[in-house]
């Protein structure tokens, strides 16, 4: 990847919520739809902030100055998306049927997540963000937009999606590095020098994330998707991409990648699946169904022949295709 060119694009494609024309009127819609839509955008505003927190951490960790500047621009993007989502929530809150708040599971999850980020190793932080962005981009945002069916939402989503395309490209670029032998060598040496106190704090933070992660994923991703994508086509597509990416390297090097594969294999195993599937699904976050193997051998073999950049481009093309 040409990082300098990517950074140029990051600067060139900046926008502000004020660029959008907020003077139009929302289409009229039934009461339940208005309530659902305002709630969706209220939660989206919180999720975008979490994405911003992850990029802020990535910015802090990378050494390459160009990459640092790219991540700094992503932090700005996510804050802007959060603002845009909040403005969309207000825009569609025509009748003030209720007072809207972020889902409690999101409020409970967010501080643990932000705390845990500082202890997570880079590859784990990247795995969270890439899965989150695949689900957000390929599944949630597009489905919300189709459900809303309104010019204001479409105009905002077009700009948000343009930013997210850059994010996905860099997420895959980083995934390649974090799956590499070079990274494994570097991080293994660092991990040996970690103090027991730090390991204990990190473990506690991570347990909290796992504990609060499952209800958060259900309330903020899975339940809304059941409303806006009832057949679940886009959601499965997004999880399938995340699964394939997790298996891109023939052998998982990092403990987290091994752990994820272990949970997936457990769910898909004819004996452990029925017994431990629910527990494993909960530990992984999204629940048992999303851990079921969604790709076949041929699809995996194909992905292993492709470069990470080609995989990113394909994920981006999928956004337009659905």
- Residues of this chain that interact with Fe ion (CB under 5 A) are 48, 51, 78, 81, 164, 167
CA 260-265-266 angle, 5° bins: 100
Residue 110's SS3 state is: helix
Q: Which residue has the tokens 């694009």?
A: 9
Least distance in angstroms from the C-beta of 84 to Fe ion: 9
Is the CB of 51 or the CB of 75 nearer to Fe ion?
Answer: 51
Is the CB of 142 or the CB of 167 nearer to Fe ion?
Answer: 167
CB 294 within 8 A of CB 113: no
d(CA 42, CA 167): 22
Least distance in angstroms from the C-beta of 281 to Fe ion: 25
Q: What is the dihedral of CA 59, 115, 246, 60, to 10 degrees?
A: 10
Least distance in angstroms from the C-beta of 317 to Fe ion: 17
Least distance in angstroms from the C-beta of 266 to Fe ion: 30
Is the CB of 51 or the CB of 120 nearer to Fe ion?
Answer: 51
Least distance in angstroms from the C-beta of 164 to Fe ion: 5
CB 111 within 8 A of CB 142: no
CB-based contacts of 142: which residues, under 8 Å, 6+ apart?
157, 234, 319, 322
d(CA 47, CA 220): 9
Q: How far is CA 299 from CA 17, 63, 175, in A?
A: 40, 35, 19
CB 86 within 8 A of CB 196: no
Least distance in angstroms from the C-beta of 48 to Fe ion: 5
Is the CB of 48 or the CB of 57 nearer to Fe ion?
Answer: 48
Is the CB of 159 or the CB of 257 nearer to Fe ion?
Answer: 159
Residue 100's SS3 state is: coil
Least distance in angstroms from the C-beta of 290 to Fe ion: 20
Is the CB of 150 or the CB of 164 nearer to Fe ion?
Answer: 164
Burial class (CB in 10 A: 0-12, 13-18, 19+), 64: exposed
Is the CB of 124 or the CB of 283 nearer to Fe ion?
Answer: 124
């Amino acid at each position: 990847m040409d990082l300098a060119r990517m950074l140029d694009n990051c600067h060139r494609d900046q926008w502000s919520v004020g660029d959008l024309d907020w003077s139009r009127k929302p289409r009229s819609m039934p009461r339940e739809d208005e309530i659902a839509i305002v709630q969706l955008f209220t939660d989206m505003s919180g999720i975008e902030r979490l994405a911003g927190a992850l990029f802020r951490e990535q910015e802090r960790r990378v050494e390459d100055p160009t990459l640092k500047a790219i991540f700094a621009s992503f932090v700005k993007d996510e804050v802007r998306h959060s603002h845009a989502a909040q403005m969309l929530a207000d825009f569609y809150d025509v009748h003030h049927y209720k007072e809207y708040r972020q889902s409690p599971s999101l409020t409970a999850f967010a501080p643990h997540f932000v705390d845990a980020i500082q202890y997570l190793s880079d590859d784990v932080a990247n795995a969270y963000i890439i899965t989150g962005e695949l689900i957000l981009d390929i599944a949630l945002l597009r489905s919300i937009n189709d459900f809303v069916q309104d010019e204001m939402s479409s105009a905002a989503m077009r700009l948000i999606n343009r930013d997210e395309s850059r994010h996905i490209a860099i997420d895959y670029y980083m995934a390649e590095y974090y799956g590499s032998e070079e990274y494994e060598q570097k991080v293994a040496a660092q991990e040996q020098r970690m103090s027991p106190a730090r390991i204990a704090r990190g473990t506690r933070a991570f347990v909290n994330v796992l504990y609060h992660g499952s209800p958060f994923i259900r309330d903020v991703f899975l339940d809304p998707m059941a409303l806006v994508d009832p057949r679940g086509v886009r959601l499965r597509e997004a999880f399938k991409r995340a699964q394939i990416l997790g298996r891109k390297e023939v052998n998982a090097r990092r403990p987290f990648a091994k752990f994820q594969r272990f949970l997936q294999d457990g769910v898909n195993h004819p004996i452990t699946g029925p017994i431990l599937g629910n527990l494993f699904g909960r530990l992984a976050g999204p629940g048992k169904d999303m851990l079921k193997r969604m790709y076949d051998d041929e699809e995996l073999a194909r992905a292993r022949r492709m470069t990470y950049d080609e995989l990113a481009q394909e994920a981006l093309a999928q956004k337009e295709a659905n």
